[in-house]
């Protein structure tokens, strides 16, 4: 018998069913609202606790349902009007219908729930500090990446108009769950001007010149991506990703941007004929200006190139690093390990407060940038090592470099490898400061460290208003 795809039959008969008067009771860890229907949890996006809604079931599983709102019968007292016309279609923001103070409340609860349920932590003896909200809940991002597409998402208004749609080109964001559908964006509230002005000007010029927008299904078309980066100090970087070395259109578009927006600090392009959309392995070409921007933070300078990683909320990043510094409680004599150091931002923040800082990162290009940033700031008590964290952080490395007094770790969303946790248990560090963008994996890792380390302090930080994402800084001390 051939091995075909398994089809899981909906035994409950709930899929596609229209439900009336569903009461939304809370917010789940993934950001969707939750309700109880026939003893099952149902996840509903863009709902608010207290809403009474009609829902259509889109997915039915053994233990849960997923549905979408078809009508709001009674809005929650906490529901507010979204300020973006794209809200509910664009996947960038999930919580614009919630007041910002409520968003912070739910994020704080997400952190504590994860620590208690996943990390098995008793928070009665832990100092859980109030979440640090973002001073700016709009226009707070310093980087946005837009996608060109010749197959734009048709909104309900487009379909309901009954008109023939001739303009199918889009420059915007991917629709969640559809790799080949892009929502054309009129105004995004996440990055300050001239971000919107640049995007709209690029689209208008490209259409006027007849340049082809990328076909995400078939992998053809000249224009693939537009990336805009900025700094609080006013520097501006614009990157265009082309699919081919077509000099005429490339020179025309880049020349237009240079003339139209003279404040651009760095104007660059990339050529990508790959099937996937990854850019980190491509070599940027500087068309105009410096090969980098300079971001200033807490008296430090950081050079940011077209492929550099940098926290996308600069002002909140500074607060996040200050919290990490307070938790580290450095007195000047310590050896500090900064794991998953990236471009060395946290390591450089700690360098002036410690005897020596060692940063470890698996991306070699990031380590090159980290070393450049250390030299730029005249910090010579910092060393950076590139490679697999599990392989580098072994007993030989510890004996050669020294056993750290303090470890700071800021892993990706997946958290730390079990082998890294095992090695941390053997370092004998007095303190571990764990910075995380995923409270669930952080809680899991804290439980893994619990044989020798006690959780004593927690500080949630909101880096991304109007989304379900939350950062958390946890302090663990040796038992």
Burial class (CB in 10 A: 0-12, 13-18, 19+), 20: exposed
3 state DSSP class of 339 = strand
Query: In the annotation, is 437 catalytic?
Result: yes
* 8 A C-beta contact, residue 479 and residue 452: yes
Token readout for 313 is 């909320």
- Of 90, 93, 188, 437, which one is the catalytic site residue? 437
* 8 A C-beta contact, residue 306 and residue 287: no
Extended strands (E) in 175-232: 182-184, 223-230
H or E stretch at 109: helix 100-117
Dist. CA 409–CA 341, nearest whole Å: 8
- Residues contacting residue 291 through CB under 8 Å, at least 6 positions apart: 266, 268, 284, 305, 306
3 state DSSP class of 63 = coil
Dist. CA 328–CA 384, nearest whole Å: 19
- The label of the residue with tokens 């979204």 reads 82
Sign of CA pseudo-dihedral 426, 431, 435, 438: positive
Spatial CA neighbour of 118 closest among 448, 474, 475: 448
* 8 A C-beta contact, residue 303 and residue 326: no
Dist. CA 59–CA 245, nearest whole Å: 44
Dist. CA 62–CA 39, nearest whole Å: 11
Phi, psi of 26 (to 5 degrees): -170, -170
Token readout for 227 is 């990336």
Dist. CA 171–CA 214, nearest whole Å: 10
Dist. CA 42–CA 69, nearest whole Å: 12
Burial class (CB in 10 A: 0-12, 13-18, 19+), 63: exposed
Distances (CA, A) of 395 to 201, 424, 426: 56, 11, 9
Catalogue the active-site residues.
437
């Amino acid at each position: 018998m051939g091995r075909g795809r398994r089809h899981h039959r909906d035994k409950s008969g709930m899929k596609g069913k229209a439900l009336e008067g569903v009461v939304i009771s809370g917010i789940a860890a993934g950001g969707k609202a939750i309700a109880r229907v026939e003893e099952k949890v149902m996840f509903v996006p863009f709902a608010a606790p207290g809403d009474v809604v009609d829902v259509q079931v889109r997915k039915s599983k053994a233990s849960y349902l997923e549905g979408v709102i078809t009508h709001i019968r009674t809005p929650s007292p906490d529901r507010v009007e979204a300020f973006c016309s794209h809200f509910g279609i664009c996947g960038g923001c999930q919580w614009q219908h919630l007041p910002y103070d409520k968003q912070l409340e739910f994020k704080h609860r997400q952190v504590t729930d994860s620590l208690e349920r996943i990390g098995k932590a008793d928070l009665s003896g832990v100092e859980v500090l109030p979440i640090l909200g973002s001073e700016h809940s709009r226009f707070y991002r310093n980087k946005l990446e837009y996608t060109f597409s010749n197959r734009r998402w048709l909104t309900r208004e487009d379909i309901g108009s009954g008109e023939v749609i001739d303009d199918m080109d889009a420059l915007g964001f991917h629709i969640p769950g559809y790799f080949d559908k892009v929502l054309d964006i009129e105004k995004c509230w996440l990055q300050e001007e001239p971000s919107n002005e640049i995007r709209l000007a690029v689209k208008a010029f490209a259409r006027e010149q007849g340049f082809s927008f990328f076909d995400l299904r078939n992998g053809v078309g000249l224009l693939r991506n537009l990336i805009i980066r900025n700094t609080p100090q006013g520097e501006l970087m614009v990157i265009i990703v082309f699919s081919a070395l077509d000099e005429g259109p490339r020179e025309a578009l880049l020349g237009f941007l240079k003339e139209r927006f003279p404040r651009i600090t760095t104007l660059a392009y990339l050529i990508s004929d790959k099937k996937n959309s990854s850019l980190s392995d491509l070599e940027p070409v500087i068309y105009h200006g410096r090969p980098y921007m300079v971001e200033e933070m807490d008296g430090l300078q950081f050079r940011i190139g077209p492929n550099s990683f940098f926290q996308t909320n600069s002002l909140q990043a500074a607060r996040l690093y200050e919290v990490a510094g307070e938790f580290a409680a450095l007195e000047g004599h310590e050896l500090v390990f900064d794991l998953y150091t990236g471009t060395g931002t946290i390591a450089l923040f700690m360098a002036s407060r410690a005897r020596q800082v060692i940063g470890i990162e698996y991306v070699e290009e990031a380590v090159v940038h980290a070393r450049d940033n250390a030299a730029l700031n005249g910090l010579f008590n910092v060393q950076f090592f590139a490679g697999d964290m599990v392989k580098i952080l072994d007993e030989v490395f510890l004996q050669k470099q020294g056993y750290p007094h303090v470890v700071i770790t800021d892993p990706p969303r997946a958290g730390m490898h079990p082998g890294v946790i095992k090695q941390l248990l053997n370092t004998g560090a007095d303190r571990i400061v764990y910075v995380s963008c995923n409270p669930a994996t952080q809680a899991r890792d804290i439980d893994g460290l619990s044989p020798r380390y006690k959780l004593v302090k927690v500080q949630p930080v909101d880096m991304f208003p109007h989304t379900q994402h939350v950062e958390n800084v946890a302090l663990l001390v040796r038992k």
